[in-house]
Structure formats: C-alpha cells, structure tokens
Structure 1
Amino acid sequence: MQSFPQKKFRDKNLLDSSELAKSTLTISLIVPVLNGGENFRQCLQSLSNVAEKLLEIIVIDDGSTDDSGKLAAELGAQVITFPSPGGPARARNKGAEVAQGEILFFIDADVTLTVETIANLITAFSHSPTLDALIGSYDDSPGSPNFLSQYKNLFHHYTHQTSSEEASTFWGACGAVRREAFWAVGGFDEGYRYPSVEDIELGYRLKRGRYHIKLDKTVQVKHLKHWRVGSLLRAEIFYRAIPWTELLWRDRQFSNDLNLKNSSRLSLILTYLLVFCLIGGWWWSILWLFALLISFALLLLNLPLYRFFLQKRGILFTFGVIPWHWLYFFYGGIAFVIGTIRYHLYHKRKIH
C-alpha cells in the first residue's frame, strides 16, 4: 500500500483570523470508519486539503482491525475508538456528541471531497439562515473504473442531479445538519447496527419536525467504492430497499422524488409485465409482441437517463446499462413486497 503524505490537520486554534472572517459558520466534519483501507487513506488526504476551512475533523473508528484509526490520529484528526463494530448510526452520534461546530457535516470513509465541496456547503448555509440540513451528490467521475461501479455511482449522480432541491430525506455519505436540529430529533437511530437506511430515517424525522432540508447539487463528493455483483445486490436489497420499504409504510413518505419518482414506479410495473410476457410467450406467442412493445415503452420512459449515460460513457457502456437498470426495477419490486410483508407482520405483532 502506498505511503500517505504526513501532512497534519491544522489545529482549530491556529486558524488565521482572515480565514475565520470569511464565514461565521463553524463546521465539524464527522467520518465513521470500519477497516477503511486504501479508500480511507484517499479520504484523509482529501480532508488534509480542506482542513483549514473546518473547525475540527472527527473520525470514529468503529472497531477496525486495520490501522484506520491510527492513521487518522497520526494525521491530527480527533479519533474516537469503539472496541467492536456497532454501525455508522452509533458512530456518527458519538462524533456529534463531542463536536463543537454549528454544522455537523457527515461523510463516508470511502469518499473524497474538494475545496469546492466545503465552499459550496458554507455558501448554502450562509445564504439561507432557515436551512436546517443539506445533502449533496456524488460527482460524475467515480473512483473505481469497473463497469458496475461506474454504472452505480453515475446512476446515483444522475438521480440527485435531476431531483427536486426541496429534499425529503437525509444522506449520510454527504450530508450536513445544524447541530440543534440534529439533537432536537434525537440524532441517528442506533437500532440500525449495519450501514442501512439510518440516514433516510433521520431525514424523515427532520421533515416531521418541519425542518428544512435542501438537496444542493453543487456540494459533491467522489465515491471510491468498488462494487461487485454480490456486494451490490446485497446492499441494494437487504440493507437499503427492504428496510426503506418498511420506513415508507411507517411514515407514509411516498413522495415523487429521488428513487421514488412516478416514472420509476411505472418502470417497475412495466418490468414485471415484461417478465410475464417473456415467460408466457412460450405458451401464447402473441405475448412476445407485447414484450417488444413494453421494452420500447421502458426505453422511452427512461430515455433521459440513457441519454445521460450515452453522453458520459458512450454507446457500448449504455447498452450494458439497460439490462442492469431493468434488473434494478425487478429486484426493487421483490424487495418492496418483502419489506411490505415484514412491516405489516411486525405491526400486527405490536398491536397484539
């Protein structure tokens, strides 16, 4: 593994008065990490370039067995260590407990940011005193070069860049919230022991409390994660889609935004109709004609997304995206059914 530059984070008391004068906001950056490896090294290096604009950098080592915590400490970050993993919700809450900044800025350990990330964050909160929380976006240059990582992270970028600026939830990979608002709703739910929808759940409670959350498309970070088929499907289905479905039923937050846009819901229905027609065509060949028509409808419905991939990565890449995108709707539907059943079974148990 490559050595890391030994550049120290500047102490908050050593900030120049001219730098402090640029903004009255104080920002505590909070990073949970569990065996961060090379991605975390790159994350820390990016933080060293923006440390002078932050009040403090707090790293929570959530039971790592590698040198993640030690490396962060050597570079001057404040490090809190747990002896065993307990999940990013617990880690982020612990970081927020010791944070002194007015703004709590949460990022994941596998992202990097730039000076522009912090500058745009400061601008957003400075220009809008009524803004309570903000989420950003992945950039359009994912760190891992393999197809699946490029597809997934670019899809995430597109989703955020084309969604409403009036956000309906929160995002822990790149999300900032005023400290008072964060603790007013109780912080992250530590019942989530693994990376899941603890950030979305926090966002729903912020919205219920009538706090204002904005999606700022200029606040961008680079995602370095290397996705493989198994890790992607496991995360998408078991750690996101199923628990998110249970949240949707609990809070009735079926908003037309982000991954829940009406076009996505219609695409999900069409995907299942397509599967039915492809299978049924072995008995009634006329259904294969319907399958062709449904495929055409799916292409038209998602044409803006495919045009985006065409512009970013070319025609061959886009042809590879289409089956993966339709598979996304297919397993999303399965996860919704499982999550719905789980929610209602749990709800019935609570009643009785």
Structure 2
Amino acid sequence: MTLCAVIPATDARDTSDRCIRAVREAEHPPEEIIVVNRPRRLGPAAARNRGARQATADVLVFVDSDIEVHADAFVKIRKAFAEDPGLAGVFGSYDDNPASGGLVSGFRNLLHHYVHQSAAGQASTFWAGLGSIRRDVFLRAGGFDEKRFLAPSVEDIELGMRLVSSGNRILLDPTILGQHHKRWTLGSMIRTDLLRRGVPWVQLLLQRDVASTTLNLGWRHRASAAASAGCLVGVLTRKPKVAAASLAVVICLNTEFYALLYKKRGLRQTAAGPPLHVLHHLVSVVAVPIGIFQHLRRKSP
C-alpha cells in the first residue's frame, strides 16, 4: 500500500516548512508528497482536490500546513487500512501539546484535541487536518466540494457525511497525532466558530436531515450550550444566582476537559476555561437561527 501526503500550503512559510519536514522525516513516510502552493483565491478544498488529482498512491493523506505530524502517524495509518480492507478513511487528532501559547490558543487547540480523543471509533464525518482516504473512494465521491466551500470551513465534514451516507466507513483513531501550530485570538475564535463552523454545519445538518451525535454535537455539548445560554440570561436579567448556577452546570459537564487544561497548562489556563467555553457555546447557539434562516432562504424559489 502506498501513501501520498497532500499539503495545501499557505504563505506562513515557517509552519509550512516545519510541516513538510515532519512528513519527510516520519517513520515509513509517504511514497509521494504533494505540496499545493495555493494563492489566496484558491481555498483549501480546491487545493486538496488539485493535489489528489496529481497523486498516484493508493491512499491520500491530507495534512494541514500548520500541523507537525508525530513520527509514527503514517505507520498507524498504514496499519489501519491494512487491518481493515473495507475501511474508506481514517483520521486522527491534534496532540495535547499545542505549540502556540496564550489562553485562547491553549483553550481552542486543547478543546479540539479533547473532542477527538473522546469520540474514538466509527465516525460519521471526516477531518482533513490529519486525515486519510483511499484515493479511489475519494475520486469516486468527487472530492471536496470546492464550489461551495471557497474558504476554510466544514468541507471535510461535508465530504465525510457524503461518504458515510454512501455506505463507506470512516474511523477516528485518536493515536494518530499531530502538533498544531495555529495561534488563536478571541476574534478569530468567534469568527471561525460562527461563520466557518457553526452556520455551515447547521446548514449541512438541515440539508441532510441528520442529527449527528459525534464530535462536538453530542448530548454533553448540547447541554453545555443550554447552560451557557442560561449564563447569558442571568447576566442580562441581573440575576447572579441564575448565571452562577448555569456556570456551575457548564463546569460539572466538562470537568474532564478542565482537568486536561490544568494538567497541560496550569491554573491560569484552567480558570480561563469556563468563560471561554461559555463564549464558544454561545456562538454555537447564535449559529443555529442564522443557519436555519440561510437554509430556508436557499430553499425558497
């Protein structure tokens, strides 16, 4: 079995060079490495499709240019496909040691790690940060929807939904790891969670008439979102007991995640966790009516 790493490179030269070097120096590295230098007008969906069309290997391994893969990542990818000939795709997770400092970066990167680590096994979506698909399956499905997703969004999730609805199986293997080098700010977190994740994801769920319970759409996420809304109501109505009780619910629902924050980043990061988590969930709540409105507007003649 042969692998081809497809890397949609940005103008962030330092992280791209680090990504490519890690791929080349990994154990049993891919037989092919295709780096797509994408101009601003070319989104990651189109860049990945372009790389996939040039590949000849059996399996495509998509690696974002701000990820430094662990040395054994490709060994584990090869093993997953070798042990299960019927497997269409397998993807991994960020590790628990994000490169970027800062409270927002620590929170957001470790949250992504925690969500993937908690959802191991059969998946109903896909992740292209460090994810692999058999090339014939990918091409047969038509690849990423580059016409719909012109900028980084949920193009990988949409592809995963398409593949699974067609009878393909995708696996989330939390031991396939990469270190994330992305730096988050409060503004970039809100914009991404609302415009590039939340709203498009709601539209996808409505379009496909599904209610996914994998990744960050499980019951705990939904309960946390409801409690976060309670926090906001308590603040706006000047009812501190309501706000405090709602915040306590958020904390109780997510104690394992906050324990991870404490273990990896200490008390200061842990203290920042609940308010940042509430904000993250509130943005998700706001995304729901916006997504519904845009979905209905798109359906109307």
Fold in common (TM above 0.5): yes
Match for 2:251 among 269, 277, 299? Answer: 299
Larger Rg: 1
Is the CA contact (8 Å cut-off) linking 2:258 and 2:270 kept in structure 1? yes
Is the CA contact (8 Å cut-off) linking 1:51 and 1:57 kept in structure 2? no
Task: Output aligned runs, 1:22-61, within 5 Å.
Answer: 25-50=1-26, 53-61=29-37
2:149 is aligned with 1:196: no
- Helix, strand or coil at the partner of 2:123: coil
In structure 1, the residue matched to 2:42 is: 86
Match for 1:145 among 85, 96, 101? Answer: 101
Shift of 1:52: 5.5
Note the alpha carbon deviations across 1:140-174, whole angstroms, 9 max, x for none: 11111222212111111111001141111011111
2:188 is aligned with 1:231: yes
2:115 is aligned with 1:179: no
Shift of 1:276: 1.3
Worse-superposed segment, 146-155 or 168-177: 146-155
In structure 1, the residue matched to 2:115 is: 159
Paired residues, number: 300
Is the CA contact (8 Å cut-off) linking 1:27 and 1:101 kept in structure 2? yes
Distance 2:120 2:168 in 1: 16
Is the CA contact (8 Å cut-off) linking 2:28 and 2:74 kept in structure 1? no
Note the alpha carbon deviations across 1:169-202, whole angstroms, 9 max, x for none: 0111111000111112111101111111111110
In structure 2, the residue matched to 1:245 is: 202
- Helix, strand or coil at the partner of 1:53: coil
Is the CA contact (8 Å cut-off) linking 1:169 and 1:200 kept in structure 2? yes
Shift of 1:313: 2.0
Percentage of pairs with the same residue: 33
Is the CA contact (8 Å cut-off) linking 2:27 and 2:74 kept in structure 1? no
Is the CA contact (8 Å cut-off) linking 1:42 and 1:112 kept in structure 2? yes
Distance 2:104 2:240 in 1: 29
Distance 1:147 1:261 in 2: 25
- Helix, strand or coil at the partner of 2:72: helix
Shift of 1:234: 1.7
Using CA pairs below 8 Å that are at least 6 residues apart, which structure has the higher relative contact order?
2
- Residue type of the alignment partner of 1:269: A
Note the alpha carbon deviations across 1:23-50, whole angstroms, 9 max, x for none: xx10011011121321111112212203
In structure 1, the residue matched to 2:224 is: 267
Is the CA contact (8 Å cut-off) linking 2:91 and 2:131 kept in structure 1? yes
Cα 1:280–1:268, aligned 2, differ >3 Å: closer, same or farther?
same
After TM superposition, which residue ranges in structure 1, 4 or more long, deviate above 3 angstroms?
none
- Residue type of the alignment partner of 1:48: R
Distance 1:227 1:134 in 2: 26
Gaps of 5+ in 2: none
Is the CA contact (8 Å cut-off) linking 1:30 and 1:104 kept in structure 2? yes
Distance 1:253 1:182 in 2: 22
Q: CA-atom RMSD, angstroms? A: 1.5
Match for 2:86 among 126, 130, 134? Answer: 130
In structure 2, the residue matched to 1:339 is: 291
- Helix, strand or coil at the partner of 2:34: strand
Worse-superposed segment, 48-57 or 298-307: 48-57
Note the alpha carbon deviations across 1:278-335, whole angstroms, 9 max, x for none: 2223xxxxx4333332222222112221122222222222011110011101111111
Note the alpha carbon deviations across 1:209-259, whole angstroms, 9 max, x for none: 110000001111111111122222222211111111111111123121211
